Structure 1
Amino acid sequence: MAAVPEADDCGERTCVDGVDLEALARRLGTPLHVYSASRLRRRAAELRAALAGLDALVCYAVKANPNVAVLALMADEGFGADIVSAGELRRSLCAGIASSRIVFSGVGKTADEIAEALAAGIGRFNVESRDELDLLQRVARDRGQVAHASVRVNPDVDAGTHAKIATGKAENKFGVEPNEAWQWFAEHAHRPNVVLDGLHVHIGSQVLELAPFARAFERIAVLARDLLAAGHAIACIDAGGGLGVRYRESHDVPVDVGDYARTLRHALRGFGGRLIVEPGRWLVAEAGVLLTRVIRVKHGARRRFLVLDAAMNDLQRPSLYDAWHAIEPLHGRERERVVYDVVGPVCETGDTFARARELPRCEEGDLVMIETTGAYGASMASTYNSRPLAAEAMVERGRYAVVRRRQHFDEMLAGEQPAGDWQVA
């Protein structure tokens, strides 16, 4: 048996975590999402080191990448989970994350989801509206349980990110104003089955500057100090997530995690309760790549199109956000550089990964790597155009494991049937 490489990579662009990507693609086919366990563990270690000395719980934002193998790795690292649905709750529990280390966020929790989370014994609910708070009280009362909850406060801070992933401005749907939070604490006696003893803030995703974090943390810290001074219990402050990553070299400059932690420490100086952070993208994005093959090169009247077997249903970010992802042909040969529009086969003009991108010349069958796809890649995938979900693999020190097999056509059809059994509602 060959020795397992100790290094993350084997010195070649065609290698990730000691695994040759061309060989992996031949074995498992394309499109193929690949996650490096070593890179995931390194990020986890960096975050733990930055938070050392704090009573801090890291709750991984499951929506970034909900694959059970990724969640199990997070559990191994001692992390909890930040969930936004009953499905994410079930995935987290299945992966071995302790229910007491799970927080439930989101503006649209239903009564059934709340009941399921209470039955599982989750640690905390991040509450986003008065209606939800009242519903939590009713469900907990009916079950004879007591729920711990935090108010999600909207700090009206511009995160400086894409409008579709900004969550901390007054016009966004998330959280409530500080004045409303005060009212909830003042009314706590009316909700005996809810222990309201925490604050939560989250200003958005892919944040690349410290200043918005600092403003949000300072505002939540002031609110916490005022509530404590008024005699209210604040056992927990949840600082959310949002740390950005480098999608584009020399363009994206991510916040250093140590500087982020120092900003958090400074804002919450003197607070003696538990701190929760909810990173998602920062932990997993740069650990993932999407492997895809060239179907053909199409010469249009004005553009040259590089048509891949991956499409917008495998990676939505470029179509949804006009997001940049580095694209690297892995043919390993010196070729002249050519300008392409890099597209998929889906029947939408929006099925475009890059426009006017200069790449080494590609030919039919060449393997291409789309980088930084570990977050919001497979997690946002669909079967649009009746395309099966791509396979997912995890690699670590020269080994690989299939963590989601490629979907079969009959699995796409499961649950569908002709309209033959007509009934009256």
Structure 2
Amino acid sequence: MSRIPTLLLLCSLADLILILNSALLVNSNGLALRLIPPYSPESPLFQRNLSHEERIKRYVFQSDVRTNHLTATSSSNIRGRIDVQLFHYIVKVGIGTFKSKPPYKEYHLEMDTGSNLVWMQCEGCTKCFNQIPKPFPKEKSSSFHPILIKNMLKTYECEYEDGASTRGVLARETFYLRSNSGGLATVKNLEFGCGLYNDMQYGNYRNNKIAGIMGLGWGDPSFAKQLSPQIKGKFSYCLPVVSKKTPSTYLRFGDDIEQSKNFRSTPLYRMNISSSYYVDLQGISLNKTRLKINPKVFEFKNNGSSGGCIIDTGTPYSRIITPAFDILKLELVKYFSRFKNLKRRIGDLGLELCYERSKPEGFKNLPDLTFHLGGSQAADFVMKPEAVFEVVRQSRPMKSREYFCLAMVKNTKMSILGSHQQTNQRIVYDTMNKRLLFYQEDCSKIP
């Protein structure tokens, strides 16, 4: 018997929350999907009693795990198993065709801009994690069609940096995205992985609702690539400042993405066979003063394992290549030495540079940072203080104090523009033209 063809994938996990059951169907070439931010009670992964400081610690931890995945050179680089992360986009979709009302089954999938495969746990799995509802009953769906190669089932294997994995068969199926008006956007013959051996930790959580993952990366199997002709290769988001009162925003596809004359543009790169989106980081400014950082420290290394800069929603806090981070940290120390009400603080949050204030000021008197990106014109990615720092308020008897920390961490291998640093920016991925478009926007006021 000939060997069954196998698709081997390196996959990864992402952050924040997206729910598709409130999708707005705009037209045949555009979708606007409601984004539910982290810590919203609407999230299937919501934890009610998580403090701000605990959230920061988990963001740092997730950033470490994500970076380990992005700098891994092969599927054999598996680290120790970790607890499932809690800062992901979650998509709720209808799948399949059944003799029922509605004629499909609804499932939550974790969305990932850094991986390609769309997959979910299927009925008949030999190793399964607990989930609500039960795994997808593929044999009962009239629109389920396994993909065959020489009359053999085409299979996949997907390994994650945290030690989790899934493998199964590749198939085509009908997906449904529900609109606010009650209508449905139907996606027929979408290729996805039907997971039959799933070593995932979702089931460790009571009443787990996560059934699999939806990839949005560069590769052909990704949701964005499969829909590329309809959405013109474009998707976009705008992330508000995360808090307990963070409003909803929208993930937009195709013609639903609004055009702006004020956007800046930088090339998007795909390095080797990576599913990640790379940009050309060339320098950093503190306020408007360019730091003396050699641009070569940001260059991509052709060995395929390090260097360069990735834009990634799955990394909460940006990672800055060590030589550049050390210069940035030194210049920030000089900047804050002018303020008499600040005291250097050594904490346990996992962030290197923190200061305690004698009185609360929020983000007042904190500087902007700019990432200088390559392109035919100036592509300055300007970050306001709320995208650069974390501010933590502490209430004590008779007095309130606060401290703030630089929400970035150094890394020896590469740089990553994380989701916290993308706060209040309209980000547009134009994959057909291989460009990243962006401009500042108040993401809390988007209709």
State the TM-score bracket (shorter-chain normalisation): under 0.3
Larger % of strand: which?
Answer: 2
